[in-house]
Amino acid sequence: MPTYKAPLRDLQFVYKELFDATSLQALPGFEEVDTDLTDTILEEAGRFCETVLQPLNQSGDEEGCHFNNGAVTTPKGFKAAYQAFCENGWGAVTADPTYGGQGLPKTIGMMVEEMICSANMSFGMYPGLTEGAYNALAKFGTDELKTTYLPKMVTGEWSGTMCLTEPHCGTDLGLVRTKAEPQSNGAYKVTGTKIFISAGEQDLTDNIIHLVLARTPDAPAGIKGISLFIVPKYLVNADGSVGAANGVSCGSIEHKMGIKASATCVINFDAAEGYLVGTLNKGMQAMFQMMNTARLGVGIQGLGLSEVSYQNAVAYARDRLQGRALKAPFQPDKPADPLFVHPDVRRMLLTMRAYTEGNRALAIWVARKLDESNRATDPKQKQSADDFVALMTPIVKAFMTDCATDVTNLGVQIYGGHGFIREWGMEQFVRDARITQIYEGTNGIQALDLVGRKMAQNTGRLLRPFFHEVSEYLEQKSADSSDELQVMIGGLMKAFGRLQQATGFIAQQGLKDPDEAAAAATDYLRLFALVALGYLWLRMAEIALAKQGEGEAEFYQAKLDTAQFYFARLLPQTGALLSAILSGSQTLMQFNHEAF
Amino acid sequence: MKIVVAIKRVIDYSVKVRVKSDQSNVDLANVKMALNPFCEIAVEEAVRLKEAGKATEIVVVTIGPKAAQDQIRAAMAMGADRGIWVETVDTELDALTVAKLLAKVVQNEQPQLVLLGKQAIDSDNNQTGQMLAALLDYPQATFASKVVIEGNEAVVTREIDGGLQTLGLTLPAIVTTDLRLNEPRYVKLPDIMKAKKKTLDATTPEALGVSLQKSIKLLKVEAPAERQGGIKVESVDALIDCLKNKARVI
Ligand SMILES: Cc1cc2nc3c(=O)[nH]c(=O)nc-3n(C[C@H](O)[C@H](O)[C@H](O)COP(=O)(O)OP(=O)(O)OC[C@H]3O[C@@H](n4cnc5c(N)ncnc54)[C@H](O)[C@@H]3O)c2cc1C
Ligand SMILES: Cc1cc2nc3c(=O)[nH]c(=O)nc-3n(C[C@H](O)[C@H](O)[C@H](O)COP(=O)(O)OP(=O)(O)OC[C@H]3O[C@@H](n4cnc5c(N)ncnc54)[C@H](O)[C@@H]3O)c2cc1C
């Protein structure tokens, strides 16, 4: 059975040593958030995840959710764990104190989320969806809606969902058919069928607050005619108590590859009373606002699964004796050597580690900017943070989830045949990771978002600060750095050059032919991500070098060695990606579709 | 009723302890530190007494370097109301010195009940509570596995070699906690936040009028010898023979 220990030291390294924790504290509202407080929060959250959530991960997967006549039952132990989770305040980390939240930085929220996802991703879906719904409502809801719904969502007594997908539309939400008919009292009657609704029905909360995309009778066709509504499972009485049922029912739940303890539901709305959130026909804008945070959250799910898979792979590689080290036996007194002596096993372990720690740095970097974008008072700082988050969101979502699939598969591989056997728990991580590449906008759509929208937005305004920061850093460091750093600087320069070249190519070709940009998108997103990670690994290596001799020698040496591995063995992928990008769309588009 | 709980910052139980290369002590540089598990049980018991309406105020006290404030905050997050930090640079105080410092704090605070862990997991001395009781001339019950407050009396069940012993102590009294007294709670996020705002008073041994004399000198610390691999025996008789003659445990 897999185990999990919250990676507190590495989290601390990133938020305290790689990034400046005091500048986070300097943002309005975060004055109290010193590193002592953050340490305590992470420690306690970690303890909860390790001892309450993680023990339910495998059993939850084996049992799955049950559907019986419209009612959904979550696996054994989930209800009690959910209650403890809420009572301990872990669902209210970042929520606004006005509604009972703790108002802590998203940076802390995301670090806690990583631990939840490592321990039990399926469980994390329930509070995760509530947070998504909370965000939309807090940003776009009327005061009346906010005071009616948000406090109970923050305590976790009520949960939330996001109802976008319909049988005939997932990616292309312009095709949404669910209707919302205005009533004389200002409310709407919502009718339609939504599918794949995570946490759409469950036995954890007294009420479920659905956020639903629907169109009004006179709405323009397509994406410009979509509005956002809030539709509670039970109507809420004037005194705030739960009232009558509201024409919302669960038709069935899906039988899935992974996240089996998370109920994925068909939800039928039958003239259910709903209330408009935000402006009529501007539902997609509202949804996107919320989706940005949700997409970062999905990236974090990938990170969490990568971390837990890595931890267990390491434990197995120490434990399992198989084969001999090629030069000389490592443990001559034993029948064989542990797996970690083999170069190929080390390749796998280090690949897992380098992506996971690199992605943690990337996630916290973006989370930091998200806090700046929410809180900074200087409009310039706010704008630039906003731009950075917008640019990086598709990268975090797609790259970190692609990595999760790769990393968790390596985890299986290190276990050999046992990786394929359910009891060991390693294959669950692969199955759970797989959905993260699909929902909240498939990774292909993320890549299109990057090249189609983010790259072009304001004639490249989003890109420039990132390019500037990397080139400035390289310039600054290329003069006076140690030999160890020099090698890495050379590697990053090369990869960065490739990114610039690819960017220029896509900008130019894409103007002439949109297929060109789209054909390059996925490779470009990966190239971009690898460069961003390269930049972060270089900075982490620099810190590790500077801290040599100051204690914790093993920790810093491992950082440095992982950085060197990243530069030697992962970053060079950028060369192949550039070649693929420069080959253009021709080989994709010339193929006769009849021949597929 | 006011309760004073003495707590100690120690090396985290999950850390693999290493000896410094010069054998002068355990290596504590950059090592994860935590609230001593027995002290955590003492805090938990105090909080439960307060929740049960038996206690009105919980004051935690620790003696140590500035970093020991983390443990006071941790205890406050569990539910303690107020903290006292006695600042000392030296982390290797004798149990008697600690007991003297605590006695002063108790004299100042005048609690009805003083709770301590039965021992700290760093040096496993198991002395402080007993010494404190002697200095104050209070009744004491060590190794508590159950504490009931009835009027002016504490009825304490103790774990002793022969089984369980129940003592009635007239308050004020000293109780030291054993492992099975309770299971400390998960700390709630809102309580972590509230703990930051609770009062933490700092004082010093000088202010308390206690001199930090040392009567014990630490000569040398050695790691225990590495465990030898086991052996397999053929029969029960061989096993008994080994236990008798080789291991000499029966
Ligand atoms: C377990 C699970 C939980 C989910 N939870 C929720 C939820 O809580 N709420 C909710 O509303 N939905 C949810 N979904 C739905 C999910 O968001 C969609 O499945 C996803 O958006 C993809 O839509 P689709 O399945 O219709 O695939 P399609 O849109 O049919 O896409 C199929 C493939 O074609 C590609 N593709 C489609 N259009 C384009 C294009 N224009 N350019 C390039 N490639 C394209 C896609 O990238 C994908 O690879 C969930 C799904 C699952 C499986
Ligand atoms: C569904 C299933 C069906 C199977 N069917 C059969 C069958 O019909 N008959 C049968 O006999 N067996 C069968 N097997 C066993 C299968 O062949 C083994 O699981 C496989 O050979 C790997 O061995 P292992 O599981 O002991 O992994 P290990 O040997 O422990 O390997 C673990 C990891 O370490 C790596 N590794 C190990 N040694 C070295 C080395 N020297 N250098 C570099 N890397 C190394 C491996 O590549 C792997 O990634 C089956 C297994 C499964 C799961």
Which of A312, A321, A339 is the pocket-test mutation for ligand 2 (most atoms within 8 Å of CB)?
A339
Measure CB to CB from residue A87 to each of B70, B73, B188 and give the nearest one. Answer: B188
The confidence score (pLDDT) of residue B188 equals 96
Measure CB to CB from residue B189 to each of A36, A84, A93 and give the nearest one. Answer: A93
As a whole number, mean pLDDT of residues A257-266 equals 98
CA of A267 to the centre of ligand 1 (A): 17
The 10 Å Cβ neighbour count of residue A37 is: 18
Contact with chain B for residue A92, Cβ under 8 A: yes
The confidence score (pLDDT) of residue A447 equals 98
Residues at CB less than 6 angstroms from ligand 2? A 320, 322-323, 339, 342, 344-345, 413-414, 416-418, 420
The 10 Å Cβ neighbour count of residue A226 is: 27
Q: Per the CATH hierarchy, to which homologous superfamily does domain A8-140 belong?
A: Acyl-CoA dehydrogenase/oxidase, N-terminal domain (1.10.540.10)
Q: How confident is the model at residue B40 (pLDDT cuts 50, 70, 90)?
A: very high
- Interval A435-489: pLDDT, tens: 999 999 999 999 999 999 999 888 889 999 999 999 999 999 888 778 889 999 9
| Alpha carbon distance B40, B232 (integer Å) | 41
The confidence score (pLDDT) of residue B148 equals 96
- Interval A132-164: pLDDT, tens: 999 999 999 999 999 999 999 999 999 999 999
State the fold for domain A158-281.
Answer: Butyryl-CoA Dehydrogenase, subunit A; domain 2 (2.40.110)
More confident residue, A287 or A228: A228
The confidence score (pLDDT) of residue A293 equals 86
Active site residue A440: yes
As a whole number, mean pLDDT of residues A118-130 equals 97
Of the candidates A166, A440, A516, A542, the residue annotated as catalytic is A440
- Interval A60-113: pLDDT, tens: 999 999 999 999 999 999 999 999 999 999 999 999 999 999 999 999 999 999
- Interval B64-114: pLDDT, tens: 999 999 999 999 999 999 999 999 987 788 999 999 999 999 999 999 999
Q: What residue ranges define each of the domains in chain B, with the CATH number in brackets?
A: 2-246 (3.40.50.620)
* Cross-strand bridge partners of residue B149: B154
Contact with chain B for residue A335, Cβ under 8 A: no
| Alpha carbon distance A187, A192 (integer Å) | 16
Instruction: Please give, rounded to a whole number of angstroms, the shortest distance from the CA of A297 to a CA of chain B.
Output: 20
Q: Could you say which residues from 31 to 50 on chain A have a Cβ atom under 8 Å away from some Cβ of chain B?
A: 32, 36-37, 39-41, 44-45, 47-48
The confidence score (pLDDT) of residue A163 equals 96
Nearest ligand to the C-alpha atom of residue A420? 2
Which of A314, A326, A341, A344 is the pocket-test mutation for ligand 2 (most atoms within 8 Å of CB)?
A344
The confidence score (pLDDT) of residue B28 equals 86
Q: The tokens of A454 are what?
A: 């983010």
Percent of chain A with pLDDT over 90: 94
What are the distances in angstroms from CA B248 to CA A354, A586, B161, B239, B243? Answer: 51, 82, 22, 12, 6
Contact with chain B for residue A551, Cβ under 8 A: yes
The 10 Å Cβ neighbour count of residue A21 is: 18
- Interval B45-55: pLDDT, tens: 999 999 999 99
Q: How confident is the model at residue A425 (pLDDT cuts 50, 70, 90)?
A: very high
Q: Is the per-residue pLDDT at A494 higher than 80?
A: yes
Q: Could you say which residues from 66 to 95 on chain B have a Cβ atom under 8 Å away from some Cβ of chain A?
A: 70, 73-74, 77
pTM score, whole prediction: 0.93
- Interval B144-191: pLDDT, tens: 999 999 999 999 999 999 999 999 999 999 999 999 999 999 999 999
Contacts of A584-591 spanning 24+ positions with Cβ under 8 A: A584/A509, A584/A516, A584/A519, A584/A520, A585/A513, A585/A515, A585/A516, A585/A518, A585/A519, A585/A520, A588/A515, A588/A519, A589/A515, A589/A519
Which atom in ligand 2 lies closest to the alpha carbon of residue A343?
Answer: 43
Instruction: Please give, rounded to a whole number of angstroms, the shortest distance from the CA of B136 to a CA of chain A.
Output: 35
Contact with chain B for residue A554, Cβ under 8 A: no
String of DSSP letters for A229-270: EEEESEEE-TTS-EEEE-SEEEEEE---SS-TTS-EEEEEEE
Mutate to test the interface with A, among B189, B197, B198 (most CBs of A within 10 A): B189
The confidence score (pLDDT) of residue B32 equals 86
User: For A95-109, A571-585, B219-233, which range has the lowest pLDDT when averaged over its residues?
Assistant: B219-233
What are the distances in angstroms from CA B131 to CA B104, B174, B216? Answer: 13, 10, 15
For A52, the closest chain B residue by CA position comes to B186
Which atom in ligand 1 lies closest to the alpha carbon of residue A213?
Answer: 11
Q: The tokens of A80 are what?
A: 């009690």
User: For A421-430, A502-511, B12-21, which range has the lowest pLDDT when averaged over its residues?
Assistant: B12-21
Which of A322, A324, A352 is the pocket-test mutation for ligand 2 (most atoms within 8 Å of CB)?
A322
| Alpha carbon distance A530, A538 (integer Å) | 12
What residue's CA is closest to ligand 2, atom 4?
A417
CA of A322 to the centre of ligand 2 (A): 10
Q: Where are the domains of chain A?
A: 8-140, 158-281, 443-590
- Interval B238-247: pLDDT, tens: 999 999 988 8
Q: Is the per-residue pLDDT at B215 higher than 90?
A: no
- Interval A531-567: pLDDT, tens: 999 999 999 999 999 998 888 889 999 999 999 999 9
Alpha helices in chain B (DSSP H): 37-51, 69-78, 95-109, 128-136, 189-195, 205-208, 236-241
The confidence score (pLDDT) of residue A577 equals 98
The confidence score (pLDDT) of residue A264 equals 98
Q: Which is nearest to A567 in space by CA: A544, A536, A545, A543?
A: A536
Q: Is the per-residue pLDDT at A575 higher than 90?
A: yes
For B190, the closest chain A residue by CA position comes to A89
What are the distances in angstroms from CA B158 to CA A81, A414, B147, B161? Answer: 33, 50, 9, 10
As a whole number, mean pLDDT of residues A242-268 equals 97
As a whole number, mean pLDDT of residues A354-368 equals 98
Measure CB to CB from residue B189 to each of A52, A90, A551 and give the nearest one. Answer: A90
